[in-house]
Amino acid sequence: MTHEQTARSTFPIGGIYPNEHKEATEGLPIEAMPCPAEVTLFLKQHVGVPCELTVKPKDSVVLGQMIGTVGDKLGAPLHASVSGTVKAVKEAMHPLITRDTAVVLSADPVADAADRARMESAPVEWRTVGREELLNRMKNAGLVGLGGAGFPVYAKVNLKPDVKVDTLILNGAECEPYVTCDHRIMLQYAREIVEGAKILMRVIGNQRCLIGIEANKMDAVEALKQAIGEAKDRQKWEIDVRVLQVKYPQGAADQIMESLTGRVRPAGKRSSSIGIIVQNVYSTKTVYDGVVLGRPLFERVITVAGKGIARQANLLVRIGTSIADIAAYLGGTTDDLDRIVVGGPMMGVSIGSLDVPIMKYTPGILFLGSDEVSTETYGPCISCGFCLQACPMGLEPHNISKYVEAGRAVEAEKFGVEDECFECGSCAFCCPAHRPLVQFIKIAKAEIDRHKRQQKK
Ligand code: SF4
């Protein structure tokens, strides 16, 4: 195994350099928030079909119990994130799609503490477990990508026999400003990440893993190198840690693949078509938890940051905890609070209510103060070309926005907006006219989709 630091890498096209704002939380160790009185769990916290509930109101539930399944369809089972009782199944406020169906659990803190203590079981020696069983364990633990997409982990690594992957990339770039939860996970759980990577490689059938970390997290680079070097079976695997240039969106799948391997995914194809699977470092740690410890995904670390909250933190919270409960635990919001954003400032969404719960793929909550939020109104495009230089996919955001403004959004299809734009926000960030380019792009995508569905009728 080699684990030397190599030359700093970056993707060649586009990208921007926003202020990182990570200093307030990157040094804060993970802190566990006590069990909340209630959690709200959406039946769909992943790419795929919603879960079918296996419990009903008034049923008792135990921490970690599977309470929703997806059968053979794409998706991830749902687990009780507290011990207690099913209070209701209802429509609840969702951070992305306004409202969706959720199950509400009332917690019994005494039973929860006892069940949590019982959960510390003896680790399983995964090397003696067959491939199918490893996949089953990942699926039954409800594991999804924690970097923001929520794609079921087992489905990503369960490749067809004719698909050959030679490289597993662990994404530790964490390029979103403010967010530092992956950084803390790499520092505090480096050994588990390395073991999780080996489990993934065993399932994929490859032996090479590249861990990409931005140069602003050199302590995490050292932690992972140390964990690789200390493993007893280090000669059997080729795992390298690579330092990536700090450049947004370094942590996007296409960009990190290009930075680390020079390979470019053809439009419309999967990363496996160029021999690569990308997995987030935190998701890889949960592979260890699910497979080795038998612990389902019922909690996660989130970064809570910004000048609008009394205390900033990297917080281990139960999935389904409300943002109101998190704010109360951290001492409440400040008078300066201007906006609440779920996720990071580049790709997150701003919300109008504290009743929204944490999902499996929520990396952070930003309580932004007035001087952290832009209040500029936007003007007409001045054709400066800055957005063209910023877009890592080589798109034409300014032209897309003009077509939308002219009521011709469907014609924006010719710019590849539908397949290639992953809404990183680089274009909007650098626009001197403060044009909300991502919002224009979202409108274009929706209009193109509506037009296509009408044509099919
Ligand atoms: S949001 Fe889309 S169009 Fe804008 S820079 Fe990112 S990928 Fe390019």
Tens-digit pLDDT profile for the chain (457 aa)? 443 444 568 999 999 999 999 999 999 999 999 999 999 999 999 999 999 999 999 999 999 999 999 999 999 999 999 999 999 999 998 887 678 999 999 999 999 999 999 887 789 999 999 999 999 999 999 999 998 779 999 999 999 999 999 999 999 999 999 999 999 999 999 999 999 999 999 999 998 999 999 999 999 999 999 999 999 898 899 999 999 999 999 999 999 999 999 999 998 899 999 999 999 999 999 999 999 999 999 999 999 999 999 999 999 999 999 999 999 999 999 999 999 999 999 999 899 899 999 999 999 999 999 999 988 899 999 999 999 999 999 999 999 999 999 999 999 999 988 888 999 999 999 999 999 999 999 899 989 988 988 887 7
The boundaries of the domain holding residue 280 are 126-291
Of 149, 179, 172, 180, the closest CA to residue 344 belongs to 179
91 and 147 share one domain: no
What is the rounded distance in angstroms from the CA atom of residue 77 to the CA atom of residue 319?
Answer: 13
DSSP string covering 357-401, please?
Answer: BPPTT--EEEEEEGGGS--PPP-------HHHHH-TT---HHHHH
209 and 280 share one domain: yes
- Helix, strand, coil share (%) of the chain residues, nearest 5: 35, 20, 45
- Exposure pattern of 266-296 as b/e (b: 16+ CB <10 Å)? eeeeebbebbbbbbbbbbbbbbbbbbbbbbb
**Is 377 within a domain?**
no
68 and 160 share one domain: no
Of 196, 165, 347, 171, the closest CA to residue 270 belongs to 165
**Is 103 within a domain?**
yes
56 and 204 share one domain: no
For residue 207, give Cα distances in angstroms to 87, 168, 302, 310, 335: 47, 8, 31, 46, 53
Of 369, 371, 367, the closest CA to residue 328 belongs to 367
Closest residue by Cα to atom 7, ligand 1, is 421
Sequence-ordered alpha helix ranges (H) in 78-217 = 109-118, 131-140, 153-157, 181-188, 190-204
199 close to 126: Cβ distance less than 8 angstroms: yes
Give the ligand 1 atom nearest the CA of 390: 5
85 and 106 share one domain: yes
Closest residue by Cα to atom 1, ligand 1, is 423
154 close to 226: Cβ distance less than 8 angstroms: no
pLDDT value at residue 419 = 83
Instruction: Please name every residue paired with 365 in a beta bridge, in sequence order, or none if there are none.
Output: 304, 342
66 and 176 share one domain: no
286 and 213 share one domain: yes
What is the rounded distance in angstroms from the CA atom of residue 351 to the CA atom of residue 40?
Answer: 17
**Is 20 within a domain?**
no
Q: Which residues line ligand 1 (CB under 6 A)?
A: 390-391, 393, 395, 397, 421-427, 437-438, 441
78 and 166 share one domain: no
**Is 263 within a domain?**
yes
The number of distinct structural domains making up the chain is: 4
Radius of gyration from C-alpha coordinates of the chain:
22
Phi-psi category of 185—alpha, beta or left, where left has phi over 0 and alpha has psi -120 to 50?
A: alpha
Instruction: Please name every residue paired with 93 in a beta bridge, in sequence order, or none if there are none.
Output: 99
Of 245, 310, 332, 278, the closest CA to residue 153 belongs to 278
Residue tagged 């050199």 (tokens): 218
Closest residue by Cα to atom 3, ligand 1, is 397
What is the rounded distance in angstroms from the CA atom of residue 79 to the CA atom of residue 93?
Answer: 20
**Is 296 within a domain?**
no
Chosen domain end from 118, 136, 151:
118
180 close to 257: Cβ distance less than 8 angstroms: no
List the structure tokens of 293: 């410890």
Who's near 89: CB < 8 A, 6+ residues apart?
Answer: 53, 56, 57, 101, 102, 103, 104
Interhelix angle 181-188/218-230, rounded to 10 degrees, is 30
What is the rounded distance in angstroms from the CA atom of residue 171 to the CA atom of residue 369?
Answer: 30
Torsion, CA 172, CA 173, CA 177, CA 182, rounded to 10:
0
**Is 297 within a domain?**
no
Closest residue by Cα to atom 8, ligand 1, is 391
Ligand 1 centroid, distance to 126 Cα (angstroms): 41
Residue to substitute in 254, 388, 389, 393 for testing ligand 1 pocket (most ligand atoms within 8 angstroms of CB): 393
- What's the DSSP call for residue 58? T
Of 261, 253, 291, the closest CA to residue 393 belongs to 253
Who's near 135: CB < 8 A, 6+ residues apart?
Answer: 154, 157, 158, 203
Chosen domain end from 265, 291, 317:
291
317 and 401 share one domain: no
Ligand 1 centroid, distance to 366 Cα (angstroms): 22
365 and 239 share one domain: no
- Number of Cβ within 10 Å of residue 380's Cβ equals 10
- Number of Cβ within 10 Å of residue 108's Cβ equals 20
Residue to substitute in 441, 442, 443 for testing ligand 1 pocket (most ligand atoms within 8 angstroms of CB): 441
**Is 362 within a domain?**
yes
284 and 414 share one domain: no
pLDDT value at residue 122 = 81
106 and 134 share one domain: no
**Is 421 within a domain?**
yes
284 close to 277: Cβ distance less than 8 angstroms: no
